[in-house]
Structure 1
């Protein structure tokens, strides 16, 4: 790297979860063990992805399907695999690793990463730290508004105001996601039958032709943090991108995961087995399955337990970002170790 060539300390800033980073770090081991590349085109249905990975440090009950999806390939010369293998070597050779997470939530994984990586600093949730700072770091001309490629729908907040506490299902798969028409149709069917009002973020081009019952509201975009902080929201159906997981923890809202790509699969597994803040939807779930799982998460025992656990993580996230909390202290320590002392 150019920075190393001229003696400038290079730091890895990993914006996804520590679990995701650990998943990427296993790519080389997956190749060594002969698990990747996969052996045949039918790997999605022949059970290959259910191979247990009981050796992943700090993460119990992992399966091959829970690893970041870039390793789910039959191509022995996959460009994406080569890119990620190279990136992980860069991470291992950097002076420090900064992760947007907080230690309590990912303690086992962070401690496992710290055993073989350069010094690891957990400084998240960054959105909470940033929101506690004066706008623009004290510069009133600066803005801390979150940028978006889409126009936010603010009317949905008024719609939420008219709903009872924890009664609304919030559904969003992230801006780049383009689920197939059949899956969108099944989701529409499931949401219409779940018995709860729902707010569904769906791009206009994908929403065309979707039937919305009297209990639903479909918008092209919204202020997600504000929605998750609204008392009417009782469940978040998400692709399990890391920003979404942190935002739902900050909002205290349990999760029903439907991962699509990259480390979303890893996060979703942790949602249900490590953090215990929700459940996972089967990839090919039909409308009746979706409705049943939503009902269980909204009113069943599993949903109640997930809500209690999410509120516990919410409190711990708040503690971590307070002055003297683990993330706040780690940020100060990073500045001292790397920026001032040069590590």
Structure 2
């Protein structure tokens, strides 16, 4: 039945190549005298949730557009499911651009159906699926509303559903969390997880690290048009040693001599790397020195700390500024 449906809709059948949904090697893109992307290498396994992290202007959107074939690289190659001309398998791809845009006079299910028709899905089937998807994602009350009558957050959700309505094998989302409130961000995270569970490959760009840390097994960090790191989130975090966080009842005493010279205050806590001698001698010195241990924990480095180490303070500060200064969600 699925084969007949694929034939009826003109859908391209998967081509067996390798385990990668996306391969990008040595991508370079210039705009006039500006080198926007400088030798990007990315490989995305099939079925993965893959994040591209970096501040605005780092080259994330340009990289995604080259991968999709919207623009051609000046140098390098990219393949989607082994195809080096992505337009040939456009029906297997769902793309949500950073610039949102729907026809304001269209009713929401018609907008979803229209987006699906651009990927080969018959309009009536797209509308039927659109209504069902709106019901599933809590927008059933809006099926008769026009886009211009929806809140910004609802309109963004409709555009996302239009990206998915043709059931793509690969979904590429450019800054999908931007402008969404916390509730809708949580719903989107759940949807991304569900897509991956169903076998869909999802790649998204973001300048908010905690989304990638919660969702992704692998990431690429982009800074200044280059990729200083691409690989496992776990490996990125392991670049930094575990940190001890210590709070004591007493401010001073002979126990202070047991702290490493690198120990720094962070609020009420001392923070430092686990000593080479291990934690047990430190604990003994703290107890014998009457530190009055209030709490002691060994914390693994987070993805944010790894990002700072890999991409530098300037890129991290730019991301933080953009994350906190983005417009109010609707």
With the length of structure 2 as denominator, give the TM-score of the two structures. 0.26
Tell me which structure has the larger Cα radius of gyration: 2
Higher helix share: 1
With the length of structure 1 as denominator, give the TM-score of the two structures. 0.25
Higher strand share: 2
